[in-house]
Amino acid sequence: MIKKYYKWIILVTLSSIVLLFIFFFDFAYQKRREADWTIHEFGNDIIKVITFDKLGRTWVGTTSGVSVLDGETWTHFQNQDYHLPDNTVETIAFDVEENVWIGTFGTTETIETGGYRFYGEKGSGGISIFDGENWTAYTKENSGINGEYVTSIAFDPQGHVWIGTTGGINIFDGKNWNLLQVDNTIQIDTGVKAIAFDQKGRAWISFGSKGGYGGPPPNGLHILTINNGGYKLEKYQDQAPNSITFDNQGHFVVDTPEGKPGTRFNDLNSPLEKGNTTFSVDPIGRIWIGSQGVLLEALSSAVPAPVPDWMISLRKYFHPLTIIFWIGVIIILGVGINYKIWPGVLVGMSIGLTAVVPFGIYDYYKEGLITFAYAVLIGGLFGLFGGFYGLGEEKRHQKPGGYKTKMGIGVGITGGIICTLIAFFIYLLTR
């Protein structure tokens, strides 16, 4: 009995081994991905800013208002209840008296002009200030803010408020609103992503649109210093980060916190979701990172260890979504071996594999290009069909031995090429 069905027993055993390996590997990968982090869920909200007050509370600005974490309790603020100009909160800062300044972005539309792409003014962003009891709101209509969408707030060593908007930087001394000028003459009216002051009192400014598009020059990350009573602007790098912060030792960090040299946290090596991220470092040195729907809190001041590269690479081939692919490969190849028509199956599959394996099978699932992975299976099926046809011809017409192999290889080559070309054509259409 066993001898009669040993080939199918081997087939089922191999399929079971693949299923178990994928299941346990994915379990280990997810555990490693979430290690060293506390995960706070935010539904569909996009986290825009993370900051901390002197009481140790965490303030998080999202596309649905402000959330405050005090110990283990979250409190949520929205515009209809707490005088926010808009629910999309881009920046939160605290002055020397611990008043909270909240900058909102408002509803936007994208405008193209002069070869540049930026957000045009359509909604109602601004600033809300809360002193613990009362709210004060500033918008373009009732203040000197030159841009309706506030993207960054920072305080210089003199206590002046620097407000980054889609229209430049305003400096507010408590009475007067002034647009930043460089070399005492040039007004900066381009969009601002982020502002932060270092221990030397220099302003680090990221110019560009919050949406990731460039605006009119200057663009990129710049350092602003005092020069002969005025300000001098020097470019630091072309990239314009969404976030700028300094850790508790004064070290400069932008966009994504770095661990070991060259290591960055992303959706593959940490629990982050895809899309723009923001981050901060709390007073005890722990890293916080936010993206769409998730806020990560490091468990300690040690830099969390990302998922090793080898696990990320291996998962491209053994992701749960690739189960159908692997079981299909085993079954088709098993049938080919059982009927001794495996050469055509191998050839048909191999043509599709040349397009899939070098990049990782899951990459095509992830990008919605399942057809590339299926090209392997369908190429094998063509080889299987050709082999069966050749096998039938050998029996019916006494074709010479090896005819089934030739037919299998020929049809397998044809099917593999056709399927891969179709997959590549679909890839071009969906780019």
Per-residue model confidence as pLDDT tens digits over 287-309: 888 888 889 998 888 878 888 88
* pLDDT at site 114: 38
Contact 68, 74 (CB under 8 A): yes
**Average pLDDT for residues 264-274, to the nearest whole number?**
80
For the chain, give the mean pLDDT. Answer: 75
Q: Kindly state the percentage of the chain with pLDDT values over 70.
A: 64
Confidence of residue 400 (pLDDT cuts 50, 70, 90): low
Rg of the chain on CA atoms, in Å:
30
Q: Does 25 score more than 90 pLDDT?
A: yes
Residue from 109, 64, 54 nearest 84 by CA: 64
**Average pLDDT for residues 354-363, to the nearest whole number?**
62
Q: Does 165 score more than 80 pLDDT?
A: yes
Confidence of residue 23 (pLDDT cuts 50, 70, 90): very high
Instruction: Kindly report which listed range (6-20, 110-124, 161-175) carries the lowest average pLDDT score.
Output: 110-124
Contact 110, 94 (CB under 8 A): no
Q: Kindly state the percentage of the chain with pLDDT values over 90.
A: 7
Taking each helix axis from N to C terminus, what angle separates 403-430 and 370-397, rounded to the nearest 10 degrees? 160
The vertex-124 CA angle with 123 and 128, nearest 5°, equals 155
pTM: 0.71
Confidence of residue 9 (pLDDT cuts 50, 70, 90): confident
Q: Does 427 score more than 80 pLDDT?
A: no
**141-144 own/partner pairs: CB under 8 Å, 24+ apart:** 143/177, 144/170, 144/172, 144/176, 144/177, 144/178
* pLDDT at site 377: 65
Confidence of residue 256 (pLDDT cuts 50, 70, 90): very low
Rounded Cα distance, 139 and 103, in Å? 10
DSSP 264: B
* pLDDT at site 346: 72
**108-119 tens-digit pLDDT:** 443 343 333 333
Indicate the pairing of strand 168-172 with strand 177-179.
antiparallel
Q: Does 123 score more than 60 pLDDT?
A: no
* pLDDT at site 389: 64
Question: Domains (ranges, CATH) in the chain?
Answer: 6-29+312-430 (no CATH), 36-306 (2.130.10.10)
**Average pLDDT for residues 168-191, to the nearest whole number?**
72
Confidence of residue 396 (pLDDT cuts 50, 70, 90): low
Q: Does 65 score more than 50 pLDDT?
A: yes
**310-356 tens-digit pLDDT:** 998 888 878 887 787 788 777 777 777 777 776 777 776 776 666 66
Confidence of residue 40 (pLDDT cuts 50, 70, 90): very high
Rounded to 5 degrees, φ, ψ at 332 are -65, -45
* pLDDT at site 110: 38
Look up tokens 């507010």; give the residue: 172
Q: Does 373 score more than 90 pLDDT?
A: no
Instruction: Kindly report which listed range (90-99, 246-255, 312-321) carries the lowest average pLDDT score.
Output: 246-255
